[in-house]
């Protein structure tokens, strides 16, 4: 039977600069790169930040002859810096079709010239000629719409210094909109973005700054906030909003707080995370989070009390047993699933202090939900406090 689903995978979610510090490892530090596979198996790659390197490593292992369509929103460094490290470009078996816009600063063949310049001496040690894959370059105009494989693609201009395109991809499984690097406040661009996002199953939208930053010292920098994103999602009838392009100075805890605030206003909000996969299909949109990056995990049998919220937003409290425990997280088993990317309060009982009631109280973040033993649900938690 033909596949009726489409998959959107997140390989890089950080804005402006990649990060490697421990405070940002849970959401990820690679700059923008998404992969969208249509129901017909066509592969679209959205932006070429440092996340492109890891995508390339996987594709080089799994696909012997690769054809992909690569959409570059704009030419700022964080959206192109992964190109020289994309392994499939160095194989003659592969072919790539690139799409972006003609920059007023670069003139015709802008994307091709950017491609060549970043690998020129003295910026990179390997000449562009080392890339043996077939390459085609197409320049798009804002407002353009066209059929591509089993999808319909629409491009619109976004409000960002030196220009940026947002993209809408319509398929039989659903519609995604990729609108990174946009600043609200200009009526023409705001109207174009609403039209682009109208009725989308998934809207990936810039949320680099807080509303306070956007109103003061970050105004004019070409980015948006979670508040503008939820307003857009509600106005445009979006089903799922993904907050994207996290600021390099935003720690995981800060992103947790942004997500919490956004969900109060628009329930179906997600914070983009490396390894996150969203599957679109007849049953709606299903979200899978990456495996928890937990170290030194050990089997454990501590009794615990857990409090959180269900996927429907209802509060719950349950007693359980921790099955695996590490310095960074744990696996607990519940009789129902909590909401992904929600906060849990975990109180671990200390048998030695049962009489005094001195137990270990922790806060954690739900990163995984999967079937467990005896009809229970296994819940992966990363401790945040």
Task: Give the domain CATH number at 166.
Answer: 3.60.15.10
Phi then psi dihedrals of residue 53, to 5 deg: -65, -45
Over its length of 385 residues, how does the chain's per-residue pLDDT go in tens digits? Answer: 568 999 999 999 999 999 998 899 899 999 999 999 999 999 999 999 999 999 999 999 999 999 999 999 999 999 999 999 999 999 999 999 999 998 888 888 888 888 888 888 888 888 778 899 999 999 998 889 999 999 999 999 999 999 999 999 999 999 999 999 999 999 999 999 999 999 999 999 999 999 999 988 888 899 999 999 999 999 999 999 999 999 999 999 999 999 999 999 999 999 999 999 999 999 999 999 876 544 434 455 678 899 999 988 899 999 988 877 776 788 888 988 999 999 999 888 765 555 555 678 889 889 888 888 888 998 988 888 7
| Dihedral sign (CA 78, 184, 238, 312) | positive
Same domain (yes/no): 210, 350: no
276 and 314 fall within a common domain: no
Domain identity same for 307 and 167: no
Residue-range definition of the domain harbouring residue 366: 298-383
In a domain, 1, yes or no: no
Structural domain total, the chain = 2
- In angstroms, the Cα distances linking 137 to 111, 114, 343, 369 are 7, 11, 45, 41
Please state, in angstroms and as integers, the Cα–Cα distance from residue 381 to each residue in 231, 254, 256, 281, 309, following that order. 30, 17, 14, 28, 14
Is the domain of 31 the same as that of 100?
Answer: yes
> Same domain, yes or no, for 94 and 241?
yes
Cα separation, 202 vs 279, in Å, equals 10
Helix (H) or strand (E) segment spanning residue 212: helix 211-215
- With respect to residue 293, please indicate whether it lies within any of the assigned structural domains: no
Same domain, 242 and 306: no
CATH number, domain with residue 374 = 2.40.10.220
Shared-domain flag, residues 231 and 305: no
Distances (CA, A) of 5 to 40, 146, 283: 9, 21, 9
Tokens of 19: 């990060």
Q: pTM value?
A: 0.89
Cis, peptide link before residue 116, omega less than 30° from 0: no
Please check whether residues 304 and 265 belong to one and the same domain: no
Say if CB 195 and CB 222 are below 8 A apart: no
Strand partners, 298: 325
3-state secondary structure of 233: helix
Q: Does residue 173 share a domain with residue 24?
A: yes
């Amino acid at each position: 039977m033909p596949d009726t689903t489409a998959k959107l995978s997140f390989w890089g979610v950080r804005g402006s600069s990649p990060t490697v510090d421990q405070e940002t490892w849970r959401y990820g530090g690679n700059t923008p790169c998404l992969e969208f596979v249509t129901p017909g198996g066509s592969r679209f790659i959205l932006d070429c930040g440092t996340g492109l390197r890891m995508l390339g490593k996987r594709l080089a292992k799994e696909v012997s002859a690769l054809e992909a369509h690569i959409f570059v929103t704009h030419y700022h460094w964080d959206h192109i810096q992964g190109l020289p490290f994309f392994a499939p470009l160095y194989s003659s078996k592969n072919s790539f079709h690139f799409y972006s816009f003609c920059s007023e600063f670069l003139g015709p063949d802008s994307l091709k010239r950017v491609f060549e310049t970043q690998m020129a001496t003295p910026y990179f040690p390997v000449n562009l000629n080392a890339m043996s894959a077939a390459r085609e370059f197409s320049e798009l105009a804002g407002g353009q719409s066209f059929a591509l494989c089993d999808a319909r693609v629409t491009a619109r201009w976004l409000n960002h210094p030196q220009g940026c395109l947002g993209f809408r991809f319509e398929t039989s499984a659903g519609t995604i909109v990729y609108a990174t690097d946009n600043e609200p406040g200009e009526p023409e661009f705001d109207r174009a973005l609403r039209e682009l996002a109208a009725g989308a199953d998934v809207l990936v939208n810039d949320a680099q700054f807080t509303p306070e930053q956007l109103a003061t010292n970050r105004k004019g920098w070409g980015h948006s906030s979670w508040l503008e994103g939820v307003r857009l999602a509600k106005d445009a009838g979006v089903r799922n909003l993904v907050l994207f392009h996290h600021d390099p100075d935003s720690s995981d805890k800060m992103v947790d707080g942004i997500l919490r605030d956004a969900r109060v206003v628009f329930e179906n909000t997600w914070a983009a995370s490396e390894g996150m996969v969203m599957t679109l299909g007849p049953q709606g949109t299903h979200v899978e989070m990456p495996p928890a990056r937990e170290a030194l995990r050990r089997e454990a049998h501590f009794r615990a009390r857990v409090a959180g919220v269900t996927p429907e937003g209802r509060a719950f409290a349950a007693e359980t047993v921790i099955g695996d425990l590490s310095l960074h997280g744990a696996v607990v088993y519940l009789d129902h699933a909590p909401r992904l990317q929600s906060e849990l309060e975990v109180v671990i009982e200390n048998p030695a202090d049962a009489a005094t009631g001195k137990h270990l109280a922790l806060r954690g973040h739900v990163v995984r939900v999967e079937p467990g033993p005896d009809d229970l649900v296994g819940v992966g938690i990363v401790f945040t406090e």
